[in-house]
């Protein structure tokens, strides 16, 4: 209903990164570490990114572990994330997003191979791409590791330049020499 206060408290914090300022958003959860489950990690100018709402509260405390793990990732000291998430996609989106977590650090896969791993027909690759594009947890659920069958960088909600930077950081791509 319009004008109704949210039933759960939404908290957020920001983190400077090599990709720009990251926005971390979470909701109260008694089962999540720190009492807050991460619901979104987004970047500046990202398509469909979360935006801070007036009723949200800036609170870095519940995100301390996420910030620690992200800093370690960008420093090259972490290849996997162990955080509590709470996302609200469709059953199909959630299935695709979980599959992203299985793509190992430093590797890539194609949309077609990911569809095959999910036992999806080739005709559903476009829907798979849309689900990947709606991923609310960039970096943490590594949608940047999915590339075109010809090796090209296909869309990334935060921009292809950031996708390339992440894959270069992970060693899946060679740095461009100028």
Residues forming the active site: 143
In whole angstroms, give the CA distance from residue 84 to residue 101: 13
- Cβ(145)–Cβ(154) below 8 Å: no
Cα–Cα distance between 84 and 119 in angstroms, integer?
27
**Interior CA angle at 137 toward 89 and 157, to 5°?**
90
Q: In angstroms, rounded to a whole number, what is the distance separating the alpha carbons of residues 74 and 60?
A: 19
- Asked if 148 and 110 touch (Cβ cutoff 8 Å), the reply is yes
Nearest of 70, 71, 6, 19 to residue 49 by alpha carbon: 19
CA dist 100 → 37, 109, 168, 178 (Å)? 19, 10, 18, 32
């Amino acid at each position: 209903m319009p004008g109704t206060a949210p039933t759960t408290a939404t908290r957020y914090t920001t983190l400077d990164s090599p990709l720009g300022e990251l926005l971390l958003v979470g909701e109260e959860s008694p089962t999540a570490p720190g009492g807050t489950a991460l619901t979104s990690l987004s970047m500046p100018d990202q398509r469909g990114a979360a935006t801070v709402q007036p009723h949200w509260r800036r609170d870095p405390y519940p995100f301390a572990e996420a910030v620690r793990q992200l800093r370690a990732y960008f420093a090259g000291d972490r290849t996997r994330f162990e955080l509590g998430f709470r996302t609200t996609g469709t059953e199909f989106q959630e299935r695709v997003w979980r599959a992203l977590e299985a793509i190992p650090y430093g590797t890539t896969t194609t949309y077609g191979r990911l569809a095959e791993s999910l036992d999806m027909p080739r005709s559903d690759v476009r829907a798979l791409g849309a689900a990947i594009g709606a991923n609310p947890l960039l970096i943490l659920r590594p949608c940047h590791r999915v590339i075109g069958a010809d090796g090209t960088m296909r869309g990334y909600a935060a921009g292809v330049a950031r996708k390339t930077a992440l894959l270069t950081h992970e060693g899946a791509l060679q740095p461009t020499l100028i």
